[in-house]
Amino acid sequence: MISNIRSLSLRQRALLTITLSVLFLLSIAIGSFLFGEDELAIQMQNKNSSPSLSHWFGTDWLGRDMFARTVDGLALSLGVGLLASSISVVIALILSLLTMWSEWADRIVTWFIDLFLSVPHLVLLILISFSLGGGFKGVVLGLAFTHWPSLTRILRGEILQMKTAEYVGISKQLGKSKWWVARYHFLPHLIPQLFVGFLLMFPHAILHEASITFLGFGLPAEQPAIGVILSESMRYLSVGMWWLAFFPGLSLLLMVGIFDRLGHSLQKLLDPFQGQKR
């Protein structure tokens, strides 16, 4: 089996990785809908149970099934990451296209990029999330407003290269407007970059959401977020209830790693110079 996988080309291995990653992420999204209120309800007769066949990840101090809570938490993180990354990608696209409008617009966008990158990321995220009222809306907007600078810088570099291209100069000589050039020349070239940037941005958004939630500045305690689960489990680790933090934390790292592999695999798939390598 391993030798068969190694015999595949780089493009084929990338497709296999993308397929397996998408199936895993779909299983998380679907699994969150399969668990009813019974699995998430308080059942004091089952409290503090270690992992078993009936409770794969054990139960917590209120008898709630940790596997169901973990899947729900991963699905919530998935939704937060998707929404925040989508908004951030749109911001990056708009700002990068503004850089082609004029020199002063390019300077303003570059100044904003440098400003946001000069502030510690987690501190800026907490400030924005807290100023917007916290909760789901505050976390999503905080993540969206802090994750666009790096992608915007990459897209700006691509636009600067394309501005000197011969076909762009010909379009301008034919009287085409800047918006026409942006729509028919720049945008088709930037779409693959945007998609890969979205997938690579997603793991950072999830980890930062879990971090500020763990610190108490993110999602509220009544939501089964991974950060909330990890924060609550800290007080029980000293009494030997290791499964409360181990399985949710490992599941979060697994999902982040899968998204990271998904982004790199798609990047290889879109690269015409690496498709046939082994």
- pLDDT range class, residue 88, cuts 50, 70, 90: very high
- pLDDT range class, residue 8, cuts 50, 70, 90: low
Mean pLDDT on 94-108:
85
Overall pTM > 0.85: no
Which amino acid is residue 188, in one-letter code? P
Query: Worst-scoring range by mean pLDDT, 50-64, 215-229, 263-277?
Result: 263-277
Q: What is the pLDDT of residue 35?
A: 67
Distance, in Å, from the CA atom of 110 to the CA atom of 99, rounded to the nearest integer, reads 8
Distance, in Å, from the CA atom of 227 to the CA atom of 189, rounded to the nearest integer, reads 37
Distance, in Å, from the CA atom of 104 to the CA atom of 246, rounded to the nearest integer, reads 51
Q: Is the predicted pLDDT of residue 214 greater than 60, yes or no?
A: yes
160, 141, 11: which is closest to 85 by C-alpha? 141
Average pLDDT value for the chain: 80
Phi and psi torsions of 164, nearest 5°:
-95, 0
Decide: 16 and 27 in contact? Cβ < 8 Å: no
Query: What's the gap between Cα 95 and its chain centre?
Result: 20
Residue the block writes with tokens 């291995």: 13
pLDDT: which is higher, 268 or 81: 81
Reported as a single tens digit per residue, the pLDDT across 180-204 is 777 777 888 888 888 888 888 888 8
Mean pLDDT on 40-55:
76
Phi and psi torsions of 273, nearest 5°:
-90, -10
Percentage of the chain with pLDDT > 90?
Answer: 3
42, 43, 29, 38: which is closest to 72 by C-alpha? 29
Q: What is the pLDDT of residue 275?
A: 47
Q: What is the pLDDT of residue 37?
A: 65
CATH topology classification for 9-29+65-270? MetI-like fold (1.10.3720)
- Bridge partners, residue 59, by sequence: 65
Q: Is the predicted pLDDT of residue 40 greater than 70, yes or no?
A: no
Mean pLDDT on 23-43:
72
Decide: 151 and 157 in contact? Cβ < 8 Å: no
Q: What is the pLDDT of residue 183?
A: 78
